[in-house]
Structure 1
């Protein structure tokens, strides 16, 4: 918190020189625009997510969640995936929520399934997709099916191959029975917000830098073919790090591409990107992030391609 306050004061004092420098440097201005776009889009939903995570820290313990979930791991994963539709938020808010719910066994697999499903199949995202692609209800169906299947596959993979020692970050204890629930809520929400927001800044800065360092003609050239278009759009989703509530409109604007690569973009983005990798490293630990994020990227790309070929047909 002191670092945050000092940083805000320093930025306020340096506001005018920084503004003049940005105005004189077009590439810095573009990177700053991308940074602000990613950060501002994500911040409200991040705030919503940490409020929910604070409530979970007070009222929902992993033991209590384990009693609520079905005993069979496969059924618990399915329930968590379908339940992700009930939380209208983006991927930035789902990471701290999933971290609060995370525990060993079926609870951990269900928490990770929820983390991937919630930002991709909630009503806000599906309505935005329908608005962005008028006349293509199959895009909404394909996105929902591919995103849910990706979440279920990764939840099942964690239950089979995941190891508790990969989780190196520990959360502060909030269920010690002392103090008010309000104090516990504030403590948990403050911790999650500052942690997640710090890594969101890192991810947004990386997205802005790559946006100006990679020439636009590279994307245009690689997107000319279907296979290369799928790979390009999957990588572009990771680099741009868009909020799941806004990515459908970006994909809809790329009219030079067929629907299939744009579907891959919509499925990969909410599952794994630069800011999510940074946030997962901050909330779960680097050993978790370097294993979970690449695996999610591969699964999301393959599942989106398969579902797209089935629902949208060959293009």
Structure 2
């Protein structure tokens, strides 16, 4: 038998939905605009030039590239595919792929804006606002997890990571590039007509770059906006219809290990953009800061839409191992982080 929804319930849902939507939409727009301009204006070999030659320093730098080349997780996989074809090491590519959606100024700003709470004690380091603690913790944990994955991946053979078709295309591109370079060097008289034809065409179309960048941003905004709107609807229903009076939710939220696991599963299902997920996490008032940190770290690295995107580059077996490893590592880190915060701030365990 259907139950009638009261006008008060509908009003609460509408208020929760619109408040989250209007707060997060500007950051999605900003992130997709930057992603569109990177897609059009940034040469594919720029990242490769920025990386050191040694393996470990290159992985560390790759984890920080999102600070100057911010890309949402919705757009990072196609970018990584192009960069790998241009010769970027797979370990650096995966590190950037996992870190860039988190370690970037747009995500940092949105996280800082979303979280509002009391001052948190940091022991000998003094105090800080909740927004500062959550922002720094999210960026720091995202960087450490991405670098750890990059170091582990650097020890694996390519055939254990990449799909066979991508490896074949890499080998084919290498051979064709060598032949192309040899032909250009050996026929200087034809170089202007052959090798530089693309450059002249690029100069002729330079006026259309802005339009192309805006179109790319528009496509990203549409795709990301759909996922974000669905996530906002589910969150608003959760906060106004499920959470009030749910005793089982109190048991889950109060479990030190169950709370981070539950929010990581929620992040996986919602598939939100990293530039806006903080506004949804901040509304989950029954869960601890540590559980929210797990939500904000795991979601940009592994969710439903990313599973399909990852399969265009990586093998399914590797994706499964990556998902399990990220779930366990981020969950343990969030539990340890929450234990430390609770020890310093006993009254502030719950936001």
TM-score range, shorter chain: 0.5 to 0.7
Is 1:270 matched up with 2:304? no
User: What is the CA–CA distance in structure 1 between the aligned matches of 2:271 and 2:296, rounded to whole Å?
Assistant: 11
RMSD, aligned CA:
4.5
Aligned to 1:149: 144
Cα pair 2:28 2:276 within 8 Å, conserved: no
Q: How does 1:7-46 map to 2 (within 5 A)?
A: 45-46=31-32
Is 1:138 matched up with 2:133? yes
Mark the CA change 1:85 to 1:225 in structure 2 (over 3 Å): closer, same or farther: same
Cα pair 1:200 1:279 within 8 Å, conserved: no
Cα pair 1:199 1:278 within 8 Å, conserved: no
Is 1:246 matched up with 2:246? no
How far is 1:264 from its partner?
1.0
User: What is the CA–CA distance in structure 2 between the aligned matches of 1:260 and 1:106, rounded to whole Å?
Assistant: 34
Kindly indicate which of the two structures has a greater share of residues assigned to helix: 1
State the SS of the aligned residue for 2:150.
Answer: helix
User: What is the CA–CA distance in structure 2 between the aligned matches of 1:158 and 1:226, rounded to whole Å?
Assistant: 30
User: What is the CA–CA distance in structure 1 between the aligned matches of 2:153 and 2:138, rounded to whole Å?
Assistant: 23
Q: Which of 72, 85, 89 is matched with 1:107 structurally?
A: 89
How far is 1:152 from its partner?
0.6
User: What is the CA–CA distance in structure 2 between the aligned matches of 1:279 and 1:200, rounded to whole Å?
Assistant: 14
User: What is the CA–CA distance in structure 2 between the aligned matches of 1:111 and 1:280, rounded to whole Å?
Assistant: 12
Q: Which of 44, 52, 55 is matched with 2:38 structurally?
A: 52
Is 1:166 matched up with 2:162? yes
TM value normalised by structure 1? 0.67
Q: Which of 241, 252, 255 is matched with 1:225 structurally?
A: 255
User: What is the CA–CA distance in structure 2 between the aligned matches of 1:309 and 1:156, rounded to whole Å?
Assistant: 27
Mark the CA change 1:223 to 1:88 in structure 2 (over 3 Å): closer, same or farther: same
Q: How does 1:60-139 map to 2 (within 5 A)?
A: 60-61=44-45, 65-102=47-84, 107-131=89-113, 132-134=115-117, 135-136=129-130, 137-139=132-134
Q: Which of 289, 293, 311 is matched with 1:281 structurally?
A: 311
Cα pair 2:253 2:288 within 8 Å, conserved: no
Mark the CA change 1:221 to 1:306 in structure 2 (over 3 Å): closer, same or farther: closer
Mark the CA change 1:86 to 1:194 in structure 2 (over 3 Å): closer, same or farther: closer
Unmatched runs of 5 consecutive residues or more in structure 2: 1-9, 118-128, 181-194
How far is 1:70 from its partner?
1.1
Unmatched runs of 5 consecutive residues or more in structure 1: 1-25
State the SS of the aligned residue for 2:296.
Answer: helix
State the SS of the aligned residue for 1:253.
Answer: coil
State the SS of the aligned residue for 1:225.
Answer: coil
How far is 1:181 from its partner?
3.4
Mark the CA change 1:127 to 1:209 in structure 2 (over 3 Å): closer, same or farther: closer
Mark the CA change 1:204 to 1:281 in structure 2 (over 3 Å): closer, same or farther: farther
Mark the CA change 1:121 to 1:285 in structure 2 (over 3 Å): closer, same or farther: closer
Greater than 6 Å deviation, 4+ residue runs: 171-176, 182-186, 192-212
Aligned to 2:202: 181
